[in-house]
Chains A and B, each alone.
Chain A
Amino acid sequence: MILVLLAVAAGGVCDLPEPAPTPDAASARAYLEVGDAELAADSAATALVAYREAVRLDPANQRARSAYLSACVGHHRDALLADGWRLMDAGDCRGAIDAFRQLPGDPAAALYEAICRYQEGDDDEARPLLRTALAAPAYADRARYFLGLIELRDRSGNDAAELFGEVAAAGGPLAERAEVLRSAALRSGRAVVGVSLEPGYDSNVNFTPDNLPGSDDFGVGGELWLSLRPLGLSGPYLRANAYYRRMRQATDNDLGFATAQAGYRLGRGETYAFGDYAYEATTLGGSPLLYAHRLRAGARWQIRRFAFSLVYALRIGTYQTADTSAFSGNAHFLTPEVSYRLPLGSSVALGYSVSRDQTTFVDTSSWEHGPRAAVRWAFRPTLRSGIEGGLFFRSYDAGIQQAPGARFDAIRSLSAYLEQDIDRVTVGLAAGVRNSVSNQAAHTYTRVTATLGATYTLSLF
């Protein structure tokens, strides 16, 4: 408070009044008493009038000076804070920061300036302000919460998880949200490893047409992955993963892939751009199926609760088997999406994807496009579900000799999941159905899958 008092006084907001031509100590005492009574009656504005007059009439009266400065600071503090909040509500964070900066050392002003700084992406400016706010019990939870957000954005997952854990344990109004973020923080970091195990059922392992006996089977999938973001969320990133799904009977459909990816993200907030390169090797039945280079570039814009994203991807693939080699070529994907964010991390998204698979041959080159919609719903901070559906139309450039008409597939897909976070483990139940209707009977099929999996994620640093 002393800091604030001195700062405001030094800043000219609470200059001492010009002394009266003739000092009047007796009247000054009366004004002082009136000021004290008004302050006791919670009427700071009237108290300020009285104290100011007391100082004017008796500048040497230390009690009057300190009472005046204290009342003045309190009066202007409220006005400056209210002004800052109004500007924040109006979306003028720059203006709000100017208002809050007039109260240096004040925990409330520090907190709200830090929130503005955080919103503007100035995390380094926000950190010391939040530490100032932490000192005041009334603002400590909110300060911890925003420090957690900064650490999370900086990919310091363990630090963020600890801060969110404290906010959640305090049980205040931010507790529920903090629990959600703690769960996310436990799974994020500058270096994160994860392992998952996922037994499941597949009703149609080899995409048998609907009019033929099915090829259902059970299998177990496992994945190991590593993610590195040495400079935090904004900056370079590396990711590697390996996946293998072993089928109980149809082992010729055992699927495996390994990917190594390097990229760069620009932007720590919800608005960012990125670009990356990945190399992917896929095996089927233990034999190489596809080697592919993948390039991606994209951007996301967040405007209040709405976000718009656009991602372009290029896959340069070489299929390794005789049956599939004709599908080698370049595939381009363009995916625009609009999403709306709801409380607790719930969201609704609508997108439309367009892709062009350009191979050497017309009968394996195709266009695909169609809409998709996804809903993610958080029942509790650590329990969520999601449902996603899409309708895609794939048309090949030409038919083959045995079936001269160009192949056309209409593909419908629907999937849903339910996930529960238990500390660093996520247990998930997922199910999906995919139905393809083609003008060529061999490509009309239905496939249902269901899995029950568990993932363990560890943030190394």
Chain B
Amino acid sequence: MLRRLPVLLLSALTLAANSGADEHLFAGARHFREGRFAEALVEFRVADKLNAGGEAAWYSAASLVRLNRPEDAIVAFTEAERRAPAMRDELFDYYRAVACHEARLYLCADRLLAGIGDRAGPRIRDEALQLRRRIEPVLRGEPAKTAIDWYYQRAQQSSARPLLAAAYLAEGRALAERRADRYRASEASAR
């Protein structure tokens, strides 16, 4: 997105919009740039409906992060990756990491942030570093059993949204693996 969003914005300002999905994609990019994230989300979603390519799904997910809907964003990113894996880049990973962080999926966030390098640009790279530093103390030491319980419970509570439930379950399992006694690790594998 670091590469694509400015291109989109520039296109929206300088080029005549194409019909159909592109028009909505450009409109969404314009709203996004101007901070109207609800409008941006709607336009990206409409673009996505009109063009099944999956590109707009990534932008929708980023908009959800800006709308402070991290769980919706996690689901949207997972869907976007399934539908258009080639579109994934470091800026989307950064947004996805923010969503994971806001949903307390710290291992998920840390894993994504670890992959963000210079290609994301200096500002995003620095923000990613700062966020990773904030996560570091949370992940230090052996995870508490209560923390693992919480992730399994959230997974259960999110059963109506399988992708979200899977994210919580994966986090819980990964934390369980970090304990010497592998508390409830096998339980997660069995699900």
B 59-94 to A, binary, CB cutoff 8 A, 1 in contact else 0? 000000001010010000000000000000000000
Q: Contact check: which of A30, A31, A33, A41 meets B72 at CB < 8 Å? A: A41
Q: Is the CB of B38 within 8 A of A27?
A: no
Residues of A within 8 A of B45 (CB): 34, 37, 50
Mark out the residues of chain B between 37 and 58 whose CB falls within 8 Å of any chain A CB in the assembled complex: 38-39, 41-42, 45-46, 49-50
Mark out the residues of chain A between 20 and 77 whose CB falls within 8 Å of any chain B CB in the assembled complex: 26-27, 30-31, 33-35, 37-38, 41, 43, 45-46, 49-50, 53
Residues of B within 8 A of A37 (CB): 45
Q: Is the CB of A53 within 8 A of B38?
A: no
- Contact (A27, B46) CB under 8 Å given A41-B72, A43-B69, A46-B67: yes
Q: Is the CB of B46 within 8 A of A31?
A: yes
A71, chain B: closest CB distance, angstroms = 12
Q: How far is the CA of A391 from the CA of B24 in the complex (A)?
A: 83
Q: Is the CB of B46 within 8 A of A46?
A: no
A43, chain B: closest CB distance, angstroms = 7
Smallest CB-CB separation from A45: which chain B residue? B38
Q: Is the CB of B72 within 8 A of A53?
A: no
Residues of A within 8 A of B39 (CB): 49
Q: How far is the CA of A29 from the CA of B54 in the complex (A)?
A: 19
Q: Is the CB of A46 within 8 A of B41?
A: yes
Residues of B within 8 A of A30 (CB): 46, 49-50
A323, chain B: closest CB distance, angstroms = 84
Q: How far is the CA of A192 from the CA of B172 in the complex (A)?
A: 69
B60, chain A: closest CB distance, angstroms = 10
Q: How far is the CA of A31 from the CA of B45 in the complex (A)?
A: 8
Chain B CB within 10 A, most for which of A26, A43, A46: A46
Chain A CB within 10 A, most for which of B39, B46, B67: B46
Q: How far is the CA of A38 from the CA of B38 in the complex (A)?
A: 10
Q: How far is the CA of A370 from the CA of B58 in the complex (A)?
A: 80
Q: How far is the CA of A50 from the CA of B45 in the complex (A)?
A: 10
Smallest CB-CB separation from B71: which chain A residue? A41
Q: How far is the CA of A50 from the CA of B27 in the complex (A)?
A: 13
Residues of B within 8 A of A50 (CB): 42, 45-46
Q: Is the CB of B38 within 8 A of A49?
A: yes
B69, chain A: closest CB distance, angstroms = 7
- Contact (A53, B42) CB under 8 Å given A41-B72, A43-B69, A46-B67: yes
A396, chain B: closest CB distance, angstroms = 78
B158, chain A: closest CB distance, angstroms = 13
Residues of A within 8 A of B50 (CB): 26-27, 30
Q: Is the CB of A34 within 8 A of B42?
A: yes
- Contact (A33, B49) CB under 8 Å given A41-B72, A43-B69: yes
Residues of B within 8 A of A26 (CB): 50
Q: Contact check: which of B24, B42, B49 meets A46 at CB < 8 Å? A: B42
Residues of A within 8 A of B38 (CB): 43, 45-46, 49
Smallest CB-CB separation from B23: which chain A residue? A27
**Could you give 16 example pairs across A and B, Cβ below 8 Å?**
A26-B50, A30-B46, A30-B49, A31-B42, A34-B45, A34-B49, A35-B42, A37-B45, A38-B41, A46-B42, A46-B67, A49-B38, A49-B39, A49-B42, A50-B42, A53-B46
Give 10 nearest A-B pairs by CB, closest first: A34-B45, A30-B49, A46-B38, A50-B42, A30-B46, A49-B42, A49-B38, A49-B39, A34-B42, A45-B38
Given A43-B38, A49-B39, A53-B42, output 15 extra A-B contacts at Cβ < 8 Å: A26-B50, A27-B50, A30-B49, A30-B50, A31-B42, A33-B49, A34-B42, A34-B45, A34-B46, A37-B45, A41-B69, A41-B72, A46-B41, A46-B67, A50-B46
